[in-house]
Each structure stands twice: as structure tokens, then as C-alpha cells.
């Protein structure tokens, strides 16, 4: 860290955090007096790939009667299992967890709408997150048709960006790398495709 151009900024931030904690302690706010600061809420997420594992951890809510996969809060369907008639789609259709759906170059707009109709027939807000994973050189050509189709369908979705999996360079030895410039380019392309407000807000952060 000491050799990084960010070393000074990191040190300044760490000092400010230390000063804030010292101030809180001087005011009597400590883990002993306020037990809540010893804990935190966290959420887990993974691809619902191994169905026997997911099924074994699925439970019925005793109050609502709904079924939930307790292996994680948020589960997603990847490119390998995202097709009509997939057992993975059928499983996730029946649980109440929020669901993610990876969207890449192989996904046609009409197929995406069919998938949304299956996974969220009641158009429940917050139910579906669409995770873009095109790659830096494909996102601005491939994503807009999906965005337009979803908007026309009326499905309420959250758009998210996975800039990692589409930007892999694999060496002869098998090691995978992801150049930061490509990651950043895909994020910027994603934001240009999903709306000017999101783009302008994120650009100020990315700079």
C-alpha cells in the first residue's frame, strides 16, 4: 500500500475513522453501552446451480405458506441454466427469494420476456434483477434491445452490471485475468444503455 498513489488518501481516511471512534467513546458510545454496534446485517448471494443442494435448504414459511431457499438471500440463474424448460428456472419460479438473471450476448429479447413472464408473472417489484454480462466490446450493441423489450413489456426489474465474466483473458497456463480498463469500459457502457440519470450519477463517482 505504501507504494500506491492512494496510500496518502487511505491513511487520511483511516485516521478520520479512528478520530470518529475516539469521539464516540468520549461521548459514552461503546460496544458495552450500545450493543448494536457490535453486530451488523449482511446478505448472501450465489448462483443456484446445484439443485439438490438448493432443494435441501428450501423451507416453507409457517406464517405465509410461501417457499424460500435458505441457502442464500438472493439467488441467480446463469447462462448455462437460463433456457426455457430448465429445471433451474422451474425451481426458482417456485421460491419467494429475489432472483437474478444473467443477461449476455446469447439472450434474445423475446426469450428474456418469456423468462420474465415465467419467473415473475404478477410483475412483483423487486422480484427480478437482470445482471448484464456482455463484455466491454459487446455491451453497447447487445444491451439496448433487452432494455427496450423489458420497458415495453412493463416488467419491473432492477438492472445490475457484472463487468467481470465477459472480460476474461485466459493465458496459456490457464490463469485468468480481467484488465481494469475493460471492466471500467463495460460499466460505463452499461450505464449509457440503462439511462442518462444513472450514467451521469455514476460518471461523477468513476472520475
Q: Looking at the structure, tell me whether residues 4 and 103 fall in a common domain.
A: no
* pLDDT recorded at residue 1: 64
Lowest mean pLDDT among 14-18, 73-77, 196-200: 196-200
Q: Looking at the structure, tell me whether residues 129 and 74 fall in a common domain.
A: yes
- For residue 47, the surrounding DSSP H or E stretch is strand 45-47
User: pLDDT-derived band of residue 3, with 50, 70 and 90 as boundaries?
Assistant: confident
Query: Any residues with CB less than 8 A from the CB of 123 and at least 6 apart, and which?
Result: 154, 155, 156
* pLDDT recorded at residue 199: 47
* pLDDT recorded at residue 195: 75
Q: Looking at the structure, tell me whether residues 74 and 117 fall in a common domain.
A: yes
Q: Looking at the structure, tell me whether residues 27 and 57 fall in a common domain.
A: no
Q: Is 170 exposed, middle or buried, given 0-12, 13-18 or 19+ CB atoms closer than 10 A?
A: exposed
**Predicted TM-score (pTM) of this structure:** 0.78
Residues 191-204 have pLDDT tens digits of 999 876 554 444 44
Q: Looking at the structure, tell me whether residues 108 and 184 fall in a common domain.
A: yes
Q: Looking at the structure, tell me whether residues 145 and 170 fall in a common domain.
A: yes
Residues 108-163 have pLDDT tens digits of 999 999 999 999 999 999 999 999 999 999 999 999 999 999 999 999 999 999 99
Q: Looking at the structure, tell me whether residues 25 and 107 fall in a common domain.
A: no
Residues 93-107 have pLDDT tens digits of 999 999 999 999 999
Residues 33-50 have pLDDT tens digits of 988 888 888 899 999 999
Q: Looking at the structure, tell me whether residues 35 and 90 fall in a common domain.
A: no
Nearest to 135 by CA among 184, 189, 80, 186: 186
**Backbone phi, psi, residue 126, to 5°:** 85, -5
Nearest to 140 by CA among 192, 68, 88: 192
**Other CB atoms closer than 10 Å to residue 87's CB: what's the count?**
9
Q: Looking at the structure, tell me whether residues 142 and 194 fall in a common domain.
A: yes
* pLDDT recorded at residue 202: 45
* pLDDT recorded at residue 69: 98
Our count of domains for the chain comes to 2
CATH number at residue 184: 3.20.20.70
Nearest to 127 by CA among 78, 161, 92, 152: 92
The chain-wide mean pLDDT, for the chain, equals: 91
Q: Looking at the structure, tell me whether residues 119 and 57 fall in a common domain.
A: yes
Query: Any residues with CB less than 8 A from the CB of 33 and at least 6 apart, and which?
Result: none
Residue 31 pLDDT > 90: no
Q: Looking at the structure, tell me whether residues 147 and 104 fall in a common domain.
A: yes
- For residue 69, the surrounding DSSP H or E stretch is strand 67-69
Range of the domain at 23: 1-40
CA distance 69 to 64: 14
- The grid coordinates listed for 176 are 485468468
* pLDDT recorded at residue 51: 96
CA distances from 52 to 49, 65, 71, 98, 115 (A): 9, 22, 11, 19, 22
Tell which phi-psi region holds residue 65, choosing left (phi > 0), alpha (psi between -120 and 50) or beta.
left
Amino acid at each position: 500500500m505504501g507504494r500506491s498513489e492512494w496510500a496518502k488518501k487511505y491513511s487520511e481516511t483511516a485516521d478520520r475513522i479512528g478520530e470518529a471512534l475516539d469521539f464516540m467513546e468520549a461521548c459514552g458510545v461503546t460496544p458495552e453501552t450500545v450493543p448494536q454496534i457490535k453486530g451488523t446485517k449482511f446478505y448472501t448471494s450465489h448462483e443456484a446451480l446445484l439443485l439438490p443442494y438448493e432443494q435441501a435448504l428450501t423451507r416453507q414459511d409457517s406464517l405465509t405458506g410461501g417457499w424460500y431457499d435458505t441457502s442464500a438471500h438472493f439467488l441467480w440463474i446463469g447462462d448455462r441454466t437460463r433456457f426455457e424448460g430448465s429445471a433451474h428456472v422451474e425451481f426458482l419460479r417456485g421460491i419467494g427469494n429475489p432472483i437474478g438473471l444473467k443477461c449476455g450476448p446469447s439472450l434474445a429479447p423475446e426469450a428474456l420476456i418469456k423468462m420474465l413472464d415465467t419467473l415473475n408473472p404478477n410483475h412483483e417489484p423487486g422480484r427480478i434483477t437482470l445482471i448484464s454480462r456482455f463484455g466491454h466490446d459487446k455491451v453497447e450493441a447487445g444491451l439496448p434491445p433487452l432494455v427496450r423489450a423489458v420497458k415495453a413489456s412493463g416488467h419491473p426489474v432492477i438492472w445490475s452490471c457484472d463487468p467481470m465474466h465477459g472480460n476474461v483473458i485466459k493465458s496459456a497456463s490457464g490463469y485468468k485475468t480481467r484488465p481494469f480498463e475493460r471492466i471500467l469500459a463495460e460499466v460505463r457502457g452499461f450505464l449509457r444503455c440503462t439511462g442518462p440519470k444513472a450514467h451521469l450519477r455514476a460518471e461523477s463517482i468513476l472520475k
